[in-house]
A and B are shown apart, each in its own frame.
Chain A
Amino acid sequence: MGVIIGPRVIEAGLSLRLVLISPVAVAAGFPSPAQDYFDGRIDLNEHLIKDITSTYIVRVSGDSMEQAGISDGDELIVNRALEPRDGSVVVAVLDGELTIKRLKITAAGVVLQAANPLYPDINVPALADLTIWGVATRCLHHV
């Protein structure tokens, strides 16, 4: 079923649309009994995006987070407003680049870990020495 959407609506830059076929009255004039129960399509924005002002979608390049279920080419939903915690998957600024790592906060200091044994940990003396760009909340993994 072709759905034509007019000029693209960009709501705070996120234009995720999940188009489902809605139960509609058939041409024969016999309305579908399911119609009374149809209350609008599922809108992914509503479920995946808590705050449109602070949520960005980014694309992953590389395989260092493979064991966290985040593969090369996957999209991540990142919320900048969340407080990064121990175990958060974060987008951190390293050498002027946005980099995806898992954050470990221990008494000894802060560690940025990959989820792939091929990549070494990066030790950071304190959280204050680190620029966290945002916290990943979802991975749109290509299956």
Chain B
Amino acid sequence: MSSTRQQIALVDVNCFYASAERAFDPSLEGKPLVVLSNNDGCAVTRSPEAKALGISTGEPWFKLAPRAKEWGLIARSSNYELYGDISARVMELLGRYSAWLEVYSIDEAFLGVKGSPEQVVGLGRTIKAAVQRNVGVPVCVGIAATKTLAKLANRWAKNNPALGGVCRWESMDPEARELLMARLPVSEVWGVAGRLEKRLNAVGICSILELSRADPVMVRDRFSVVLMRTVLEMRGTPCIPLEEERLGRDQLIFSRSFSTPLTSVPEFRQVLSVYAQQASARLARHHLQAKVLTAFAGTSHYNPKDKSFPSVCVPLPMPTSDPVLLTRAAHALLPAIQDGVKYARAGIMVTDLRPSDSQQPLEPFTNPHEERGIGPLLEQISRKYGRGTIGLGFAGLRSDLDWSMKRGMRSPRYTTHWDELPVVRAA
């Protein structure tokens, strides 16, 4: 393999939500910490110390709570405005290290990297140090010839402290790689989930190693073209294109690359509107509402000049799937779009998803109130006097009040609310 061939780095934040909490509250350092899902239901993120207690993802809080004191376990309600902002900072910073950046989820991104093995590993270390220093959260970096292997390398970096958080797959000892692949169940491969695992096991493919050695044609015929690509990727042949939307852990992403670059604000206005409406439709279909929207754009990696990776994170005034609200929030990216720069991709991500009420609440921001400026006025009043002080009918109030009661353990929204800034002691 030529040493200057493009490689792919997967950068992701370790225990993202827990790390974001710790960035502003050093007293949480070294303590078992879980971040809970919406309504303080169950543990969605566990610090390493919480994992060591044997707490698993999805464990209901009501079961953990009675033992929390005895364990010294600390819980935090999810604080999506904080996580969204920290995510936007991380992505912005990553964009400075590569012109080829694909935001994959709230805490992961793929980057195109070039150079000798030593150079790309060095770049990985530089990126890790920069994110820690600037933003204040730890990341791991996996580097490989394909996305699927970069994911695997990233996992290896996480589980081997000796690697210092950076692993290049092809630099590993081949025997160590085989051992790892033989040990890991096939479900650990990117893109192989529950049902597929059972079907693979039925044809004798149980480990990642067995999958990588499977006949791609057989895999295509008996499973799918998608899985065949995974097999090829495991062998080092890049073939996974960008996905356009994903329903992942508590987030929806709509993003794509353009064959003809976008160069003007009006074009972006249209594209972001389309995404916002797609997001709206998809949220409605899944009976979900979002509380935070992140919009981003980026230039192409084939265009080394004019690098630009703007992103904004917008807390929505209420949990919503309303297209008008989502569109308006997505348009918050427009001031950051540099006129004349050729953008090759754009996208939006909605996070902090929660089930919508069975009854569609009356949204105060839709027509005809829209034109009368009632929406922004309500927003200003709410901002000044607190959520739930004003609204039309039941608009968002019930769910919001309901909500505030179930977020008993939320840390301050340190970076998005002026009255919730981190406090530094001068004593």
Q: Which residues of A contact B (CB under 8 A)?
A: 4-15, 51-54, 56-65, 70, 72, 75-76, 80-81, 91, 93, 96-100, 114, 119, 131, 133
Closest residue of B by beta carbon distance from A66:
B426
B379 A98 Cβ-Cβ under 8 A: no
A50 to B373, CA, bound (A): 35
B26 at the interface (CB under 8 A from A): yes
Given A8-B416, A64-B427, A72-B426: 7 more A-B contacts, CB < 8 Å: A8-B315, A11-B312, A13-B414, A53-B90, A61-B426, A96-B29, A97-B26
Residues of B contacting A98 in the complex (Cβ-Cβ under 8 angstroms): 24, 26, 422-425
Proximity bits, B85-99, A CB within 8 Å = 1, else 0? 110111011000000
Q: CB distance A10 to B425 under 8 Å?
A: no
Mind listing 22 A-B residue pairs with CB under 8 Å?
A7-B314, A7-B317, A8-B379, A9-B312, A10-B85, A10-B312, A15-B418, A53-B92, A53-B134, A57-B421, A58-B422, A59-B422, A60-B424, A62-B427, A63-B427, A80-B136, A81-B134, A91-B424, A97-B425, A98-B423, A98-B424, A100-B426
Is B34 at the interface (CB under 8 A from chain A)? no
* Contacts between chains A and B (CB distance < 8 A), count: 131
B359-381 CB mask vs A (1 if < 8 Å, else 0) is 00000000000000101110110
Bitwise interface map of B from 4 to 42 toward A, beta carbon under 8 Å scored 1, else 0:
000000000000000000001011010000000000000
CB-CB under 8 A for A56 and B422, given A7-B325, A9-B332, A10-B85? yes
Lowest 5 CB-CB distances: which A-B pairs, in order? A13-B415, A96-B27, A62-B426, A54-B134, A62-B427
User: B394-427 interface mask toward A, CB cutoff 8 Å, 1 = contact, 0 = none?
Assistant: 0000000000000000000011101001111111
Shortest distance from the beta carbon of A15 to any chain B beta carbon, whole Å:
7
Interface residues of B (CB under 8 A from A): 24, 26-27, 29, 81, 85-86, 88-90, 92-93, 133-136, 312-317, 325, 328-329, 332, 335-336, 373, 375-377, 379-380, 383, 414-416, 418, 421-427
Is the pair B329, A7 in contact by a Cβ cutoff of 8 Å? yes
Q: Say yes or no: B27 contacts A97, CB within 8 Å.
A: yes
B424 near A58 with CB under 8 A, answer yes
**In the assembly, what is the distance between CA of A98 and CA of B422, in Å?**
9
Judge whether B26 and A15 touch: CB under 8 Å. no
Question: With A9-B312, A81-B134, A93-B26 as given contacts, are A64 and B426 in contact (CB-CB < 8 Å)?
Answer: yes
Interface pair A15/B416, CB less than 8 Å apart: yes
Q: How far is B313's CA from A52's CA once the two chains are assembled, in angstroms?
A: 13
| A12 x B88 contact (CB < 8 A) | yes
Give Cα A58 to B92, complex, Å: 21
